[in-house]
Amino acid sequence: MLPVHPQRSTSPWRLAFAEFRKNKLAITSVIFLFFVTALCILAPWLTSWDPVKINIRFINKGPSAEHWLGTDKGGRDIVARLLYGGRTTLWICFSISLIVTSLGTLVGSIAGYFGGRVDSWLMRFTDLVLIFPFLVFVIVLKAIFPDTGISIFIIVVSILGWGGTARLVRSKILAEKENEYVLAAVSIGCKPSIIIMKHLLPNVITTIIVQAILIVAGMITVETGLSYLGFGVPANIPSWGNMMSDAISPEVIKNQWWVWLPSGILITATILAINFLGEGMKDAFNTKK
Amino acid sequence: MLTYSIRRILGMIPLLIIISIIVFGLAKMMPGDALTGQIDPTKATPEYLAEMREKLGFNDPIPVQYWNWVQGLIKGDFGQSFIHKLPVSEMIAQRLPNTLLLAVVSLVITYTCSFMMGIYAGRYPNTLGDRSIISLNYVAYAVPSFVASIIAIYVFAIKLGWVPISGSVSIGVEDTSLMYVLSKLKHTILPALVLGLFNTAAYTQFLRNDIIDSTRKDYVRTAMAKGTNASAIYNRHILRNSLIPIVTFFGFDIAGLLGGAVVVETIFVYPGMGSLFINSISNRDYSVVMAVTLLLALMTLLGNLIADLLYGVIDPRIRLS
């Protein structure tokens, strides 16, 4: 007699994964992102050049067998700086996305669940955060707390950046809490914190995940743009944005393409891949269609 | 509509007050004197500081200082630039028209390009043309504005030499001539293009999808059944409906354009508010920084107000809630 396997129903996650696998663009993006992240993490084993120490012998050299993508004005190897810079940039953007998503989810779910006065005050606060011109205020805050390293940068950007997520989570929770299972949970005496954590959030988590992924892409733009202008990561730490800061002079743009083109392409390709990944996940989770 | 507008405008007042308090607070945290620009942060001997503090009323209670500052603002007194020895209001008056020109040209480019691409892609979906437009837009959506600026400078200003690399007008061109206007436009077009890139991609995408959705709607089928020709359906019936949401984005665009101007103007050395802001930060000219910050925040607020009002004009239901 054959053994009988109990029939397991497919979970939403499994369904989404099956859907996601059909999306070639998204899969390619995942592979690309995995590849870039792995290269950056393994930087110390992949290159022997120092990304920070100035080397006067090799200043502003074009690509060669020794330096595949040439060197910058400090004689530092571009490939090494790309790898180590990726560590900084990806780490920063990942951390910011994590903090922003947590803060936004916290505020948004409390506002959405409790409604009434709590909602109105929290959302007014959120509107206030959203009204500030983001880049301008990051730069002003960076001017007040100058050159204090990566963590201050992460904190400043996170404090100014959570508004959009809060609004999104609130609107999702507002719609979700009308369901009867929430009423059932309330009627058997569940605490609000349990209802939010155990019942509501799992049902809106997919939206939050997609949003968090798209925020990583947005933060790469913010970090590289600000570092390029000199208001992001301190200049002595390599990052994808810092690497391009020499390309503010037309002379460098004209004569030293290797200073700005490789990191420019890498930044754009990474953002593109993250966007494809986010879009792919959004489509995969949206199986109701 | 009038009551709605008045309610929206009154609703802005608390935000205005909070923004002014935050800007005031930030200015107090900055070295030197960010509000009137009278204390030089680089020349900080204790005697000098003490004397200036007394003279400028820094020993007054904080609310009194805040009130004096607000009174100055209402009269148009933004303080004095420390580096340029000029009233800040004068510097802003010089720069603001440039940024506005940049924003307007950018919006014109955005609307023209996205309408042409969006309408084409929406009308002929899944053709080669549509696919190329989509791919182009994905890249335009992803590329950060400073990378786009560098590439634009390299290709159009350096390699092709079509437009100048930087500035807002050629030196020695007379103020009133037609040449002046042309020179101004020539300098503005490249930064404006880069500044509008993100919006162009977003609008094209939106228009394309909206047009494709509309094609399946009943009113379009009716029009087709009555034998209306395709161009009339697309250009008159469908487009008119797709325009509504786009109009409401306009207010938010203002905020986006001002933020983007900070980056783009700096790279193109374009003398607008954004580059004034960055230069003043680098020079520690904090009175200018605070004035520009306040102004940019106000303009963002104004942009949101415009978005709300446009929304109310288009969708009467919004006015009632």
Nearest-neighbour CA in chain A from B23: distance (Å): 10
Q: What is the ipTM of this complex?
A: 0.86
Start-to-end C-alpha separation, chain B: 12
User: pLDDT tens-digit profile of B106-160?
Assistant: 999 999 999 999 999 998 988 999 999 999 999 999 999 999 999 999 998 888 8
Put simply, the answer to whether B142 touches A135 (Cβ < 8 Å) is no
DSSP class of residue B307? H
Residue A263 lies in a domain: yes
* pLDDT on residue A264: 92
pLDDT band of A173, cuts 50, 70, 90: very high
Of A268-272, A285-289, B165-169, B252-256, the one with minimum mean pLDDT is: A285-289
Domain membership flag for residue A34: yes
The Cα-based distances of A157 to A16, A170, A218, B56 in angstroms read 32, 21, 12, 34
- With a pLDDT cut of 70, the percent of chain A lying above it is 95
Kindly list the residues from chain A whose CB atom is less than 8 angstroms away from the CB atom of residue B139. 268, 272
pLDDT of B172 reads 66
pLDDT 10s digits, A269-281: 999 999 999 999 9
Q: Which of A133, A143, A257 sits opposite B296 (nearest CB)?
A: A133
B28 chain-A contacts, CB cut-off 8 A = none
Q: Is residue A135 part of a domain?
A: yes
Q: Report the alpha-carbon distance of residue A61 to residue A70 in Å, rounded.
A: 5
User: Is residue A143 a part of any domain in this protein?
Assistant: yes
Distance from CA of B73 to the nearest CA of A (A): 19
How much is the pLDDT for B80?
79
What phi and psi values does residue B164 have, to the nearest 5 degrees?
-70, 160
Choose the most confident range, by mean pLDDT, from A46-60, A205-219, A254-268, B211-225: A205-219
What confidence tens digit (pLDDT) does each residue in B272-305 have?
Answer: 999 999 988 888 888 888 888 888 888 888 888 8
Whether residue B140 lies within 8 A of chain A, CB to CB, comes out as no
Q: Does B201 touch chain A (CB under 8 A)?
A: no
* A250 with B158: Cβ contact below 8 A: yes
For every residue of B135-173, which 3-state class applies, written as one string?
HHHHHHHHCCHHHHHHHHHHHHHHHCCCCCCCCCCCCCC
Compare CB distances from B18 to A128, A133, A260 and report the shortest one's residue.
A128
**How many structural domains is chain A composed of?**
1
Taking only the tens place, the pLDDT of each residue in A3-25 is: 666 667 778 788 888 888 888 89
Bridge partners for A77 per DSSP: A71
B68 burial level (CB within 10 Å; 0-12, 13-18, 19+): middle
* pLDDT the model gives residue A92: 94
Long-range contact pairs involving A281-286 (C-beta distance under 8 Å, separation at least 24): A281/A16, A281/A20, A281/A26, A281/A206, A281/A209, A281/A210, A281/A213, A282/A210, A283/A19, A283/A20, A283/A23, A284/A16, A284/A17, A284/A19, A284/A20, A284/A23, A284/A26, A285/A12, A285/A16, A285/A206, A285/A207, A285/A210
Residues B6-35: tens digit of each pLDDT: 888 888 888 888 888 988 888 888 776 777
What pTM was computed for the model?
0.87
| Residue A160 to chain B, least CA–CA distance (Å) | 13
Residues A150-167 have pLDDT tens digits of: 888 899 899 999 999 999
Least confident of A188-202, B42-56, B175-189: B42-56
Is the residue at A17 inside a domain? no
A23 occurs within a structural domain: no
* pLDDT tens digits along A21-76: 888 899 999 999 999 999 999 888 887 777 877 777 777 777 777 777 777 777 78
Express as a percent the part of chain B with pLDDT over 70. Answer: 90
pLDDT of residue A213: 94
* Residue at A20 is within a domain: no
**The pLDDT of residue B131:** 93
Q: What span, in angstroms and rounded, lies between the C-alpha atoms of A74 and A256?
A: 13
Q: What is the DSSP string of A85-149?
A: HHHHHHHHHHHHHHHHHHHHHHHHHHHHHH-HHHHHHHHHHHHHHHHS-HHHHHHHHHHHSTT--
Chain B residues whose CB is inside 8 A of the A272 CB are 138-139, 142
Measured between beta carbons, the chain A residues lying within 8 angstroms of B262 are 135-136, 139, 229
Range of the domain at A184: 28-285
Is any Cβ of chain B less than 8 angstroms from the Cβ of A268? Answer: yes
Cβ pair B88, B78 in contact under 8 A: yes
Calpha distance B278→B294 (Å, rounded): 14
Q: Is A128 on the interface with B (CB under 8 A)?
A: yes
SS3 A256: coil
Average pLDDT value for chain A: 87
CATH code of A146's domain: 1.10.3720.10
- Whether A219 is in a domain gets the answer yes
* Helical segments of chain B, H only: 2-29, 46-55, 62-74, 88-123, 128-142, 145-152, 178-195, 197-215, 218-225, 230-232, 239-267, 273-282, 286-314, 316-320
Residue B199 half-sphere exposure, CB side, CA atoms within 13 Å?
A: 29
Chain B: give the shortest CA distance to residue A50, in Å.
25
A279 vs A213: CA distance, rounded Å? 9
Does A235 contact chain B (CB < 8 Å)?
no
Residue A267: pLDDT band with limits 50, 70, 90: very high
Contacts of A133 in chain B (CB under 8 A): 255, 258-259, 293, 296-297, 300
Residue B321 has pLDDT above 60, yes or no: no
